[in-house]
Structures are given as structure tokens and as C-alpha cells.
Amino acid sequence: MKTKQDRDEYIIVIGCGRLGSHLARLLSKARKSVVVIDKDEHAFHRLSDEYSGFTIEADAVEIDTLLRAKIDKADVVVTTTNDDNTNLMIAQIAKTIYKVPKVIARLFEPSRQPVYEELGIDTLCPTILSAEALRNTIIGEETGDLE
């Protein structure tokens, strides 16, 4: 019998937009066990033929949806919707109620990052990443924080 550490990672991706669908494809290609949740069934058309995971058409804010996705078994939950509040709420549920070991939330508003950090939720902020990449391209610096 495999222990939790021996088995493949089980990853839930919330949101099947450009980011969520691309991430799901990459994880699936890396042979991870992936389920994608989105409330719009048409969003799943973004998934490539390489995607071998599951999809759930439902609102991930609802506990029943998360239970259907087996959030209690998840090793990682990634929220990639285009709404910071939705991402934070689902991330909090995953982290505090279901004790998911790794929770990552997409974050659009950089000033909210400290709130996520206080809750132990990792963030990915396209605004910060883009600004740092542009700065590096312009002035050639590889390190340093934006302020």
C-alpha cells in the first residue's frame, strides 16, 4: 500500500481560464493526478488533448463541489479564477478546513499579498511577476523586490 508520500500528487485547479487550463495541461503532462473545477462548461474547451485529468462543472465556492473533487485527499489546491475574493475564500477553505498541505492562490491586487501570507497561503501575482520581468528586461537586474 502506498503512503501519501509515495503516491502521485493529487492536485485541484480551480478555474479553467487561460492560466488554469495551461497549468492543468502542464501538470497532466508531468503525470500528476489533476481535477479542474469551473462553473462554465465551455471553459473546459481550453483544455488540450494532452489533458488526461478530470473536470467538474460546478461552483468551487460550494462545499459540495469541493467534496466531490475530494479536497480532503488533495496535496495541492491552486485557485486561478479572475477574482481575488473567490480565490482567497477557496484557498482559506482548503488550508484551514481541509488542511491541504500546499495552497496557492492567483492574486491580482499586490497590496493583498500580506493577508494571504498571514493565512499561510502562497500567492502568484501576475502584476508583480510581469513588473519584475519588465524591470529585468529594461535594466538587466536579476534580483530585488519591487516597492
Which domains can be identified in the chain, with CATH numbers?
10-139 (3.40.50.720)
Determine the Cα–Cα distance for residues 124 and 132; give it in Å rounded to an integer. Answer: 13
Lowest mean pLDDT among 27-36, 81-90, 114-123: 114-123
Q: What's the whole-number average pLDDT of the chain?
A: 90
Q: Quick one: pLDDT at residue 4?
A: 46
Helices (H), 60-100: 63-68, 84-92
Burial group, residue 4, by CB count within 10 angstroms (0-12, 13-18, 19+): exposed
More confident residue, 79 or 143: 79
Coil, helix or strand for 30?
A: coil
User: Model pTM?
Assistant: 0.86
Query: Given the C-alpha cell 481575488, which residue does it identify?
Result: 84
82 vs 143: CA distance, rounded Å: 28
User: What distance in Å separates the CA atoms of residue 54 and residue 137, rounded to the nearest whole number?
Assistant: 38
**Bridge partners of 57?**
38
- Say if CB 36 and CB 13 are below 8 A apart: yes
Single-letter code of the amino acid located at 87: N
Residue 2: pLDDT above 70? no
**Cβ-contact 101, 76 below 8 angstroms:** yes
pLDDT tens, residue by residue, 6-64: 457 999 999 999 999 999 999 999 999 999 999 999 999 999 888 999 999 999 999 99
In contact, 119 and 134? CB cutoff 8 Å? no
- What DSSP designation does 100 have? -
Give the mean pLDDT of 107-123.
90
